[in-house]
């Protein structure tokens, strides 16, 4: 028997897969690394926190080694994971159709697996990851070899932190609090989402899922 929607009977909701294990791994590698880097970074950066916590050399090592671990883990996920699926996902993030463009202008057009806002967030997150990695590496190398020292590196690293903190708060709000989107948290943790939710918020994708 195939469960149908709106039949009135109490039945288990039907789930469809939104994120593969590889996609979830990429997300959670980023999430965990970001949180540790943010916490150690703020403790290094804010004078009041520095004074409260101290242990600067230890925090600095934790910050640097977490960054190295973050990049290594990403490489590992790409090498061991489902690369074809990742390429498809990147393609989805890249391509904007007319519905996406209109959605960004606040027209309620039907969306695919990712709405246009999620696509913009993905592009920004990827760019910030590159810029964090480059500026962080330059800060680290600059301490050892003055040829890598630029007066603006620390300014770039600071501004990335500030802007990504704002994006992160918005991301948490949409993932944990905002009623229309918070079900997506289930997707990024278990992989699957309710079909009825997907049909409401991501109809162009949900219709293709059998």
What is the binding site for other proteins (CB under 8 A)? 45, 47, 50-51, 54-58, 93-101, 119-120, 122-124, 126-128, 130-131, 134-135, 138-139, 142-144, 146-147, 149-156, 159-160
Q: Which is nearer to other proteins, 84 or 147 (CB)?
A: 147
CB 135 within 8 A of CB 161: no
Nearer to other proteins, 34 or 197 (CB): 34
**In whole angstroms, what is the distance from residue 9 CA to residue 102 CA?**
38
Considering the complex, what minimum distance in angstroms separates the CB of residue 157 from other proteins?
10
Which helix H or strand E contains 32, and what residues bound it?
Answer: helix 21-45
**Shortest distance, CB of residue 82 to other proteins, whole angstroms?**
20
**CB of 91: closest distance to other proteins in angstroms?**
9
Q: How far from chain centre, in Å, is Cα 48?
A: 29
User: Across the strands, what pairs with 147?
Assistant: none
CA–CA gap between residue 116 and residue 135 (Å, rounded) = 28
φ/ψ (deg, to 5) at 9: -75, 150
DSSP state letter for 12: P
Which residue's CB is nearer to other proteins, number 154 or number 165?
154
CB of 180 to other proteins, least distance (A): 23
Burial of 169 (0-12, 13-18, 19+ CB in 10 A): exposed
- Provide, rounded to whole angstroms, the least separation between the CB of residue 128 and other proteins: 7
- Looking at the Cβ atoms of 134 and 185, the one nearer to other proteins is 134
Q: Let me know: does 122 contact 93? Beta carbons within 8 Å.
A: yes
Contacts of 22 (CB under 8 A, 6+ apart): 77, 81, 82, 83, 85, 86
- Please enumerate in sequence order all residues whose Cβ is within 8 A of that of 173, keeping only pairs 6 or more positions apart, or say none: none
Q: How far is the CB of 165 from other proteins (least distance, A)?
A: 16
């Amino acid at each position: 028997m195939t469960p149908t929607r709106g039949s009135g009977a109490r039945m288990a909701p039907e789930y469809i897969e939104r994120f593969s294990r590889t996609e979830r791994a990429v997300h959670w590698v980023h999430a965990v690394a970001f949180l540790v880097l943010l916490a150690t970074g703020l403790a290094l950066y804010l004078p009041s926190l520095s004074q409260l916590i101290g242990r600067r050399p230890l925090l600095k090592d934790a910050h640097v080694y977490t960054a190295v671990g973050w990049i290594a883990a990403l490489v590992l996920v790409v090498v061991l994971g489902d690369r074809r699926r990742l390429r498809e996902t990147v393609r989805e993030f890249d391509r904007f159709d007319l519905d996406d463009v209109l959605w960004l202008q606040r027209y309620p057009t039907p969306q695919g697996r990712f709405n246009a806002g999620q696509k913009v967030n993905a592009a920004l997150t990827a760019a910030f990851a590159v810029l964090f990695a480059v500026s962080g590496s330059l800060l680290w190398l600059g301490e050892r070899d003055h040829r890598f020292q630029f007066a603006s590196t620390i300014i770039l690293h600071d501004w990335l932190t500030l802007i990504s903190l704002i994006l992160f708060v918005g991301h948490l709000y949409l993932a944990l609090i905002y009623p229309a989107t918070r079900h997506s948290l289930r997707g990024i943790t278990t992989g699957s989402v309710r079909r009825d939710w997907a049909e409401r918020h991501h109809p162009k994708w949900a219709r293709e899922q059998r």
